[in-house]
Amino acid sequence: MLIKVFFVFFIITFTFQSWTKADDIEEFQIEGMSIRDSLLDYFSKNEIKNSKQVNQYPNDSYILYALSDIMNLKKYDLLTISTKKNDKKYTVTSISAGLRFSNLDECLNLKKDFNDDISSIFSEIPKEEVKYKAQRDKTGKSMVYGTQYYFPSGDFLIANCMNWSKNMNLTKVFQVSMRTKEYSNFLLNEAYK
């Protein structure tokens, strides 16, 4: 009888842990890293400070590091990571990784495969399919085809096909991004101020 009680307790505990992990974005990694990790767990301070910084917003509260050059990327072609500007721990607030593609159908297939995998891990997480004109392209010819996952914590996981028009002279990429709630709020409300 004691063994049965222990076994039932073990099963319930194991099942509950699986449920709690199923809605935690920090369980997902891009190139072995997740949001809220410290960059110092992967790089020295010198490597971080000497890496290419891509500050594309007028408000410089956050720093974007282009780390593709100093990392041996396994799955993606491009990688950028953001941290708060004066954070001595270099806590990761967003990770974006990209794969170059040549035609939109190729990217949409990549996005579908990614979404199938993510849906099997985070089956209870609400998601939304979106399609919109890329704000960076003032001609309105560049399109974004995306899937956005909304975690209970307010964090986001996004899979986008960035289909830039020829006049933008930008690389077309399948982009996977993880963002903390705080960083997403920054992008929406403060980045361009």
Q: How confident is the model at residue 185 (pLDDT cuts 50, 70, 90)?
A: very high
Please check whether residue 142 is in contact with residue 165, taking contact to mean a CB–CB distance below 8 angstroms: yes
Nearest CA to 124 out of 35, 21, 8 is that of 21
Please check whether residue 125 is in contact with residue 149, taking contact to mean a CB–CB distance below 8 angstroms: yes
Looking at residue 12, what is its pLDDT? 32
Asked if residue 11 has pLDDT above 50, the reply is no
**Mean pLDDT throughout 5-14?**
32
Please check whether residue 160 is in contact with residue 151, taking contact to mean a CB–CB distance below 8 angstroms: no
**Mean pLDDT throughout 54-71?**
85
Pick from 1-10, 51-60, 83-92 the range whose average pLDDT is largest: 83-92
What is the Cβ-side half-sphere exposure of residue 147, based on CA atoms within 13 angstroms?
20
Q: CB 126: neighbour CB atoms within 10 A?
A: 10
Residues 6+ apart with CB under 8 A from 189: none
Asked if residue 161 has pLDDT above 50, the reply is yes
**How high is the mean pLDDT of the chain?**
85
Asked if residue 73 has pLDDT above 50, the reply is yes
Looking at residue 156, what is its pLDDT? 92
Q: How confident is the model at residue 34 (pLDDT cuts 50, 70, 90)?
A: very high
Please check whether residue 137 is in contact with residue 164, taking contact to mean a CB–CB distance below 8 angstroms: yes
Query: pLDDT per residue over 101-152, tens digit each?
Result: 989 999 999 999 999 999 888 889 999 999 999 988 889 999 999 999 999 9
The sheet carrying 52-53 orders its strands as 52-53, 62-66, 78-84, 94-100, 173-179, 156-163, 143-150, 127-133
Q: Where are the alpha helices (DSSP H) in 101-180?
A: 104-121
- At 32 the three-state DSSP class reads coil
Element holding 12 (H helix, E strand): helix 2-21
Q: How confident is the model at residue 21 (pLDDT cuts 50, 70, 90)?
A: very low
